[in-house]
Amino acid sequence: MNRSLDNLLFGDPTPNAQAITRATNWAVAALLLALAIGIAFRFHAAGQFDAGLWEFFAWTTTWTFLAKGLLGTLASAAMAAVIALVFGLVLLVGRMSRLRLARWPSVVAIELLRGVPTLLLIYVCFLVLPSVGIKLSTYWMLTLPVGLSTAAMVAEVYRAGVLAVPRGQTAAARSLGLTEAQVFFHVVFPQALRYIVPALVAQLVIVVKDTTFGYVVTYGELMQNAKVLIANYNALVPVYLVVAVLYCLVNHAISRASQRLGRSMH
């Protein structure tokens, strides 16, 4: 059985070294516990654990509001993911086309969307488009830029997958008389998907993170709802901590699902 590097480096210790490791373990644990107590004390001293806080979190409205925010986040992320998957495919087809007229606009679009911060694209939808007569709802002001920005990443992920499919497959399909489109959609792309599904799922984490910008356009996602709660009840630290935990849970779950999917496909 292969041993991990850390095991090789620090494994098979002498009884003396084992005792030192045990003692250090306890010392580190004690230090961390002291740190945790220190942080809790800081919270207490700053009045973050007063009776009002427990009351605040006992209210159903608090949790209903946060749950609504989470739903808003997921609704925006799901639509942005759909836009990214579909538009990413369009960009891929253009990027791999032999027609210069299709290839160059796709290359420019991919480089532009990948190279510009999502927040800047949101500002364009929020501040610039209304001045030229295009008015989007707050949902689309958030979802469209996030979806388009991710589409460029997804197009590159697709491309990596397509290039990983052996060329012989294309040649064999062509020799059977399939058209170029048939070869791509029936032979190459289904195989490429197998390679890239984990990377695509990982892109979902980025989509969920990017929807945090919803508060910029006042779309009712988790961060925006947290801001409203804070404005109404003045419980800044606890609300942001709950929001952070929720984001971590959702993104961690997606990351784990991605890892599992990757392992099962190998």
Closest approach, Cβ 172 to other proteins, in A, equals 32
Choice between 93 and 122, CB closer to other proteins:
122
Least gap, CB of 112 to other proteins (angstroms): 6
Residues of this chain that bind other proteins (CB under 8 A):
2-6, 8-11, 21, 24-25, 28-29, 32, 42-43, 45-46, 48, 111-112, 114-120, 123-124, 127-128, 131-132, 205, 208-210, 212-213, 216, 223, 236-237, 240-241, 243-244, 247-248, 251-252, 255
Q: From the CB of 41, what's the least distance to other proteins, in Å? A: 11
To other proteins, the closest distance from the beta carbon of 247 in angstroms equals 6
- Tell the smallest beta-carbon distance from residue 78 to other proteins (Å): 17
- Please identify, using beta-carbon distances, which residue of 173 and 242 lies nearer to other proteins: 242
CB nearer other proteins, residue 68 or residue 174: 68
Q: Judge whether 240 and 215 are in contact, CB under 8 Å.
A: no
